[in-house]
Structure 1
Amino acid sequence: MESRPLVRDLLRERQSDLTASERKLSAVLQEDSLVAGLQSITRLAEMAEVSTPTVIRLARKLGFDGFPDLQNAIREELAERIKRPLAKLDAALTDARDHIVSQFAETVSSNINRTLDRLDLAEFDAVGQLLSDPTMRIYLLGGRITRSNAHYFFNHLQIIRPNVHLLDSSPSVWPQSLLDMNETSVLVVFDIRRYERELEKLARLAVEQGARIVLFTDAWGSPIEKVAAHTFRSMVEVPSSWDSTLAINFLIEALVAEIQRLGPDQSAERIAALENMLGESRIFRNT
């Protein structure tokens, strides 16, 4: 069954329908990833410097019966975002009617389809153009789970275009990379729940340097979304303690194909040069 839209998305989508007071309240809710919405209605109104009827009106404009209904949705949304691996495993074990392979196949297929349903093709095209521009320097980095996605994207990009850099996993060496970032830089970040504060700090510093952020995240959205120029949200839940990044990899492979299509001469020359280098260098041979 399709879940209802996320409160964070509703707030963004309904901005044009809100009054000035309602927009102030919306900004307070979005500022700290909805956490303010767990306050009492009186306290929330005080924080936003609006009236309690404004809080109720905003809740109803978002499609809720009232503030308690909105607050329940916020509570559920936050609980999903911080769900721990053991809690996910307990939930998965309650529905073990089919073999785990069948469960995974069905869920991953659904994740990819639902990710595509939510994909903004104009956003995809814009990122394809950005990452295919040879004058742009691309930096990639993932979190504890998504590091492999960053490596995978990097391995493809460095073959088909120049100026691609994979950041070290240790934050202690990030300042050296930040030093070289500017308006001709793109930082591609992978961040899914439980979101990593170090990545958020890096993204903010990169934007201050002039870089643009391309974010790959989950359905709930990493806090990095606030500073990202482009965001791809993917469905990640599977019957496991861990989230799946297969839908993210689907988008990566589609982007690789698009980047190669947009710069066929550049990628063909690099691939040919690489093949020649591999053929000429005995160090890469077994014989």
Structure 2
Amino acid sequence: MTVRETIWRESANFTASGRKIGNAILADYPFGALRTIQELAERTGVSAPSITRFVSKIGFAGYQEFQRQLIAELRESGRSPLELKTTEKLHNGSAFLIDYASRAAQRLQEMGERIPQEQFDRILTLVADPNRHIFVVGGRASGNIALLLSTHLKQIRSEVHHLPNDVEDWPYFLLAMRRNDVFIMFDFRRYQRDLVSLAEVVANNRKLSIILITDKWMSPIARHCDHIIALPSEIETAWDTLVCATAFVEALIVKVSEADWPSTRKRLEAWDQLRMVRPTQPLMEK
């Protein structure tokens, strides 16, 4: 469990000063807690001993051990397949597929247990609101998951916009964003600097709701977001899995379509009618 998850888990038991510390750490995670204890105390308006008690309450022997854990998480967030290969757990080659499927199922179970239904419902409410335009973007690999989401949303509702890979095209979409709109961003380790910069621009200039779908090490985009979904991605091989991201997106698609099913049905019927249109004249043969 990451420090972030630990703080979330223990938040109901915090004192008023503990909530201040926890909120400050989460607001700029993990960098907010990589400063000295005196700097963090100044920033939060609580005493250094209160911070020591806080880190002890969440399971650390002291502030240095707390920071070592944060630094370890940062290192993990930058690990490449080459590095992950060195810690890969070998599995029975003759039954690899069934073993891999079992591990994927465990990750899905973990996602279901860790993502609160209330958090899913908040995101659903935003994405299903027909008065909000939806903008979607993903990274080099997660872009495929972003495309899965935007492709289905376009069939379900209007005003869904998928940002292309070319950053030179991004200003067009940024100018179209309105205050009440929704920006869904996908970013998994190793995180993309251009997406982090994009999130900062959107947060500072467009003021719309940003939803981040990431892994447990948390993309730096998190500091600019209103809603964060941290999904399991480790599967004990050199390659992280996007199975949980795919399942989360599919679940969201199902519930968005059901939020106003009469409207969805009408749009799907019209979509299918147009999709089935065929040319009246046969295409000329070459």
Task: Judge same fold: TM > 0.5, yes or no.
Answer: yes
The alpha-carbon deviation at position 286 of structure 1 amounts to 8.9
Unaligned runs of 5+ in 1: none
**Which residue of structure 1 lines up, in the alignment, with residue 222 of structure 2?**
225
Q: Which amino acid is 2:199 matched to?
A: A
* 3-state DSSP of counterpart to 1:239: coil
How much does 1:180 deviate? Answer: 1.2
Which of 78, 90, 95 pairs up with 2:90?
95
Q: CA–CA distance in 2 between the matches of 1:132 and 1:286? A: 40
Contact 1:36 1:44 (8 Å CA) reproduced:
no
The 2-side partners of 1:130 and 1:6 are apart by 27
Query: Which stretches of structure 1, 4 residues or longer, exceed 6 Å deviation after superposition?
Result: none
Q: 1:68 to 1:257 in 2, by over 3 A?
A: same
* 108-117 or 58-67, larger mean C-alpha shift: 58-67
Instruction: Give the drift of 1:265.
Output: 1.7
| Alpha-carbon contact 1:14-1:62 (below 8 Å) kept | no
Summarize deviations over 1:158-183 as a string: whole Å, max 9, x none.
11111111101122211111111112
The whole-number CA distance in structure 1 between the counterparts of 2:92 and 2:177 is: 51
Task: Give the count of matched residue pairs.
Answer: 277
Q: 1:254 aligns with which of 251, 256, 266?
A: 251
- What is the TM-score with the length of structure 2 in the denominator? 0.85
Matched residue, 1:70: 66
**Mean CA deviation greater in 118-127 or 98-107:** 98-107
Aligned residue number for residue 182 of structure 1: 178
Q: Is the alpha carbon distance of 1:15 and 1:220 closer, same or farther for their aligned partners in structure 2, counting shifts above 3 Å?
A: farther
Aligned to 1:191: 187
Structure 1 residues 27 and 230 mapped into 2: Cα distance closer, same or farther (>3 Å)? closer
Q: Which amino acid aligns with 1:263?
A: D
* Corresponding position of 1:45: 38
> Kindly tell me: are residues 120 and 15 of structure 1, through their superposed partners in 2, closer, same or farther at Cα, counting changes over 3 Å?
closer
8 Å Cα contact 1:132-1:262 kept in structure 2: yes
Alpha-carbon RMSD across the aligned residues, in angstroms, is 2.7
Distance in 2 between the 1:131 and 1:51 partners?
41
1:202 aligned to 2:226? no
- Tell me how far apart the structure 2 counterparts of residues 236 and 271 of structure 1 sit (CA, whole Å): 33
Q: Aligned pair in 2 of structure 1 residues 100, 202: CA closer, same or farther (>3 Å)?
A: same
Q: State the one-letter code of the partner of 1:110.
A: Q
Contact in 1 for aligned 2:29/2:223 (Cα 8 Å): no
The question of 1:274 aligning with 2:261 is answered no
**Residues 159 and 270 in structure 1, CA contact (< 8 A), matched pair in contact too:** yes
Q: How does 1:8-87 map to 2 (within 5 A)?
A: 8-11=4-7, 13-14=10-11, 17-18=14-15, 20=17, 29-30=25-26, 33-35=29-31, 43-46=36-39, 48-49=41-42, 53-87=49-83
Quote the residue 1:165 is aligned against: 161
Distance 2:22 2:276 in 1: 60
Q: Identify the match of residue 235 of structure 1 among 211, 232, 236.
A: 232
1:151 to 136, 141, 147: 147
In the alignment, the residues of structure 2 paired with residue 24 and residue 47 of structure 1 have an alpha-carbon distance, to the nearest angstrom, of 11
Which structure 2 segments of 5+ residues have no match?
none
The aligned counterpart of 1:6 is 2
What CA distance in whole angstroms lies between the structure 1 residues aligned with 2:226 and 2:47?
A: 33
Q: TM-score, normalised by structure 1?
A: 0.84
Query: CA–CA distance in 2 between the matches of 1:261 and 1:45?
Result: 51
- Any conservation in 1 of the 2:155–2:267 contact (CA below 8 Å)? yes
Cα distance in structure 2, aligned partners of 1:73 and 1:80 = 11
Q: 1:119 aligns with which of 115, 118, 125?
A: 115
